[in-house]
Amino acid sequence: MAKKDYYEILGVSKSASESEIKKAYKRLAMKYHPDKNQDNKAEAEAKFKEVKEAYEILTDTQKKAAYDQYGHAAFEQGYGGAGASGFSGFGGGSAFDDIFSDFFGGGRGRGQTVSRGNDLQYNITLTLEEAAAGVSKEIKVPTWVSCDICHGQGTEKSSDVVTCNTCHGAGVVQMRQGFFAVQQECPTCHGRGKVVKNPCKKCHGEGRIQKTKTLSVTIPAGVDTGNRIRLSGEGEAGLNGAPAGDLYVQVQVKQHAIFERDGINLHCEIPINIALASLGGEVEVPTLNGKVSLTIPAETQTGKMFRLRGKGVKSLRTSTMGDLYCHVVVETPVNLTSKQKDLLKELGESFKADKNSKHSPKEKSFFDKVKKFFG
- Domains annotated for the chain, with CATH where assigned, are 6-104 (1.10.287.110), 120-253 (2.10.230.10), 260-330 (2.60.260.20), 339-374 (no CATH)
- Cα 57 to its chain centre, rounded Å, is 39
Residue 104 vs residue 305, higher pLDDT: 305
Measured distance CA(206)–CA(248) in Å, rounded: 24
Measured distance CA(195)–CA(203) in Å, rounded: 14
- Among the listed ranges 90-94, 149-153, 224-228, 329-333, which one has the minimum average pLDDT value? 90-94
Report the percentage of the chain scoring pLDDT > 90. 41
Nearest to 58 by CA among 14, 102, 2, 4: 14
Measured distance CA(341)–CA(347) in Å, rounded: 10
Bridge partner list, 194: 163
Residue-wise pLDDT tens digits, 5-58: 888 899 988 888 888 888 888 888 888 877 777 778 788 888 888 888 888 888
The yes-or-no verdict on residue 334 having pLDDT over 70 is yes
Residue-wise pLDDT tens digits, 83-102: 333 333 333 344 444 444 44
Give the contacts of 239 (CB within 8 A, at least 6 positions apart): 115, 117, 192, 206, 207, 208
Give the pLDDT confidence score for residue 198 in this predicted structure.
85
- Do the strands 260-262 and 290-296 form a parallel or antiparallel pair, or are they unpaired? unpaired
Sorting pLDDT into bands at 50, 70 and 90, what band is 106?
very low
Contact between 55 and 131 under an 8 Å Cβ cutoff? The reply is no
* 215 backbone φψ class: left, alpha, beta (φ>0; ψ -120 to 50): beta
Give the pLDDT confidence score for residue 82 in this predicted structure.
38
Give the pLDDT confidence score for residue 305 in this predicted structure.
97
Residue-wise pLDDT tens digits, 169-223: 888 887 765 556 677 888 888 777 888 888 888 888 888 899 999 999 999 999 9
Give the pLDDT confidence score for residue 76 in this predicted structure.
57
* DSSP H stretches of helix in 211-319: 274-279
Residue-wise pLDDT tens digits, 228-274: 999 999 999 987 778 899 999 999 999 999 999 999 999 999 999 99
Sorting pLDDT into bands at 50, 70 and 90, what band is 112?
very low
Sorting pLDDT into bands at 50, 70 and 90, what band is 78?
very low
Contact between 185 and 164 under an 8 Å Cβ cutoff? The reply is no
Degrees, nearest 5: CA angle 139-143-145: 110
